[in-house]
């Protein structure tokens, strides 16, 4: 039992790191694709997304969705196959831990340290330099709370799908 939870924690850390790299990579390449996730004052200072940016956001949503839900499902199936069948409850807890690890990575590393703390140039959309929204940590804490609720739904989905095979 301890070995399977050690492996599960390893999967959760790798999943969270991959999620963070995926977000940072796309943010560095095309920050306006995330315009809807920027603080309100930043959004208000900029024109709406162009048609090309909307298409890019739609294209990016596919790999994000596949990564976000696919990796936990595949990991749950693999661990169940390796360590014996897991109950729905165990699959749920495992998936919730994975999602929560990614949510914590997003909050602490991406939002509080990089976005609000360091605020490197590549996260600041030109024309919005110095706006206070970039340093609004309360907004990120609210996002974490919302992410925790979404994690519950995602964990239910993973627990269900992980038991199909």
Please report, for the chain, the start and end positions of each structural domain, with discontinuous segments joined by +: 2-162
CB-based contact 76:94 (threshold 8 Å): yes
DSSP 17: H
Q: Please report where in the chains the tokens 């609000």 appear, as a residue.
A: 116
Q: Please report where in the chains the tokens 């749920």 appear, as a residue.
A: 92
Q: pLDDT band for 85, please (50, 70, 90 cuts).
A: confident
Q: What interhelical angle do 137-162 and 88-105 show, nearest 10? A: 150
CB-based contact 116:137 (threshold 8 Å): yes
| Number of helices followed by number of strands (H, E) in the chain | 6, 0
Q: Give the per-residue pLDDT at 46.
A: 95
19-23, 76-80, 137-141: the lowest-pLDDT one: 76-80
Region 36-40 average pLDDT: 92
**pLDDT, tens only, 105-122:** 999 999 999 999 999 999
């Amino acid at each position: 039992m301890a070995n399977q939870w050690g492996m599960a924690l390893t999967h959760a850390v790798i999943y969270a790191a991959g999620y963070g790299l995926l977000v940072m990579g796309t943010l560095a390449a095309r920050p306006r694709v995330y315009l809807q996730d920027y603080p309100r004052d930043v959004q208000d200072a900029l024109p709406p997304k162009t048609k090309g940016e909307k298409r890019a956001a739609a294209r990016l949503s596919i790999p994000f969705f596949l990564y976000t839900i696919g990796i936990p499902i595949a990991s749950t199936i693999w661990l169940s196959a390796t360590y014996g069948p897991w109950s729905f409850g165990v699959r749920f807890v495992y998936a919730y831990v994975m999602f929560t690890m990614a949510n914590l990575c997003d909050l602490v590393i991406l939002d509080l340290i990089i976005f609000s703390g360091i605020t490197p140039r590549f996260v600041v959309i030109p024309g919005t330099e110095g706006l206070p929204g970039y340093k609004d940590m309360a907004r990120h804490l609210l996002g974490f709370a919302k992410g925790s609720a979404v994690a519950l739904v995602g964990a239910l989905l993973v627990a269900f799908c992980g038991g199909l095979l």
